[in-house]
Amino acid sequence: TGDVTYDPGFMNTANTKSSITYIDGDEGILRYRGYPIEQLAEHSSYLEVAYLLANGELPTQGQLDNFVSSVERRTLLDERFKSLFDGFPRDAHPMAVMQAGVSALSTFYQDSLDPFDEDQVRLSSYRLLAKVPTMAAYAYRVSKGHALLYPDNRLSLIENFLRLTFGFPVEEYIADPVVVRALEQLLILHADHEQNCSASAVRLVGSAQANLFTSISAGIGALSGPAHGGANAAVMEMLDEINERGMDPRDFMERVKNKEDGIRLMGFGHRVYKNYDPRAKIVKKIADDVLERLGIQDERLDLAMKLEEIALNDDYFVERKLYPNVDFYTGIIYKAMGFPTQMFTVLFAIGRMPGWIAQWNEMIHDPETKIGRPRQIYTGQPLREYAPMQART
């Protein structure tokens, strides 16, 4: 095996240097470009965070206005996207539709594909930030069989997204400002998380000099997995199942601890956070605020809190340093806002878009970037002769 290091899951291998996001998993710290996540969630906006992640500094008012208008005027999708979306089965998972849609951006917007042309890349970034929410809304509408609305660019990006998702053609749709702000905060919390599975996928594909759209569609594929972005939906399915079967939360936790059928407490544990996930604290607060504002009492919130309480006092979870992660409570908020479970991971993807763009940009400008090409330790057959059919048993 020579000089090859065996490191499944890249537990100890840094593939890059990065100045975007700082995480201290033992201390439960997350910062974008040096700014604590708590401060950004409180004071910043989604597009300001997107600017910060991409450019390294908070924008001045003029820079922000410019950036926001560059994004917000690009929410419209080429009309032919409609037939693309119409072609998918109605029960298609919206993440699969999104991945196909983002991939198709390279066919519609061929004037911004050159990875080494900064103006083109900037244009692609605006297009992604603007059009992905539209696509997400369309993925949902198609599944419902509802008409696709056109974006109304007098609205902010997030208001527009909510209207495209929940509005109807002849009705005025006014989003609740508390819901808009809560969604904005959730998107900020998801905006980047250094070299996670999907960001690594984006970088790996980009390292072959594939264009930004194609690289990001790979990230969406990675994010769809239940061990990554799919966890927020998996949490909701878990809570629903416990409720529907009338299971005692303690019995369920025993099954988790005994690893029966390999079940895990979804929304718990993290590769990097071994103390607590700072995002989870903020999410819990948002959950309380949104449910109160909307006057919703969701028994799943009580169940989730019960499971958390059991876990935090149980040796199995304490010894393995398993705490609630960002996804433990997000689903309850998304449900209260009216999103079906299948859309949860799509919302994560909208949130993560600024991070993927920033990671891809950093990769493409880094003179030390090499094509991502892991090694292996071969465990197969040694050399042998091709056997003719009649000699095989």
Catalytic annotation, residues? 270, 327
8 Å CB contact between 265 and 325 = no
> Which tokens is 297 given?
């009492």
Contacts (Cβ under 8 Å, ≥6 apart) of 203: 15, 16, 195, 215, 359, 360, 363, 372
8 Å CB contact between 201 and 359 = no
Query: In angstroms, what is the minimal distance from the CB of 271 to ligand CMC?
Result: 4
* Per-residue CA distances from 88 to 42, 91, 153, 352, 366 (Å): 39, 8, 27, 24, 39
Please select the residue that binds ligand CMC; options are 76, 174, 208, 227, rule is CB under 6 A.
Answer: 227
Please select the residue that binds ligand CMC; options are 37, 188, 210, 231, rule is CB under 6 A.
Answer: 231
What is the rounded distance in angstroms from the CA atom of residue 326 to the CA atom of residue 211? 30
Please identify, using beta-carbon distances, which residue of 175 and 326 lies nearer to ligand CMC. Answer: 326
Please select the residue that binds ligand CMC; options are 94, 133, 151, 267, rule is CB under 6 A.
Answer: 267
Please select the residue that binds ligand CMC; options are 53, 105, 265, 304, rule is CB under 6 A.
Answer: 265
Please identify, using beta-carbon distances, which residue of 31 and 228 lies nearer to ligand CMC. Answer: 228
What is the rounded distance in angstroms from the CA atom of residue 322 to the CA atom of residue 265? 9
Please select the residue that binds ligand CMC; options are 322, 336, 346, 364, rule is CB under 6 A.
Answer: 322
What is the rounded distance in angstroms from the CA atom of residue 380 to the CA atom of residue 383? 10
Please select the residue that binds ligand CMC; options are 31, 264, 293, 306, rule is CB under 6 A.
Answer: 264
What is the rounded distance in angstroms from the CA atom of residue 118 to the CA atom of residue 114? 8
Please identify, among the stretches 71-79, 94-102, 132-140, 325-333, the one whose residues bind ligand CMC according to the rule CB under 6 A: 325-333
Please select the residue that binds ligand CMC; options are 31, 181, 228, 281, rule is CB under 6 A.
Answer: 228
Please select the residue that binds ligand CMC; options are 141, 270, 284, 300, rule is CB under 6 A.
Answer: 270
According to the binding rule CB under 6 A, does residue 353 interact with ligand CMC?
Answer: no
Burial of 106 (0-12, 13-18, 19+ CB in 10 A): middle
Query: In angstroms, what is the minimal distance from the CB of 375 to ligand CMC?
Result: 21
8 Å CB contact between 185 and 286 = yes
According to the binding rule CB under 6 A, does residue 238 interact with ligand CMC?
Answer: no
What is the rounded distance in angstroms from the CA atom of residue 100 to the CA atom of residue 217? 7
According to the binding rule CB under 6 A, does residue 132 interact with ligand CMC?
Answer: no
According to the binding rule CB under 6 A, does residue 185 interact with ligand CMC?
Answer: no
8 Å CB contact between 200 and 362 = no
8 Å CB contact between 19 and 53 = no
What is the rounded distance in angstroms from the CA atom of residue 84 to the CA atom of residue 374? 35
Please identify, among the stretches 19-27, 122-130, 150-158, 323-331, the one whose residues bind ligand CMC according to the rule CB under 6 A: 323-331
**Nearest residue to the partner ligand CMC, using Cβ:** 269
According to the binding rule CB under 6 A, does residue 80 interact with ligand CMC?
Answer: no
According to the binding rule CB under 6 A, does residue 293 interact with ligand CMC?
Answer: no
According to the binding rule CB under 6 A, does residue 269 interact with ligand CMC?
Answer: yes
Binding stretches for ligand CMC (CB under 6 A) = 196, 227-229, 231, 256, 264-271, 320, 322, 325-327
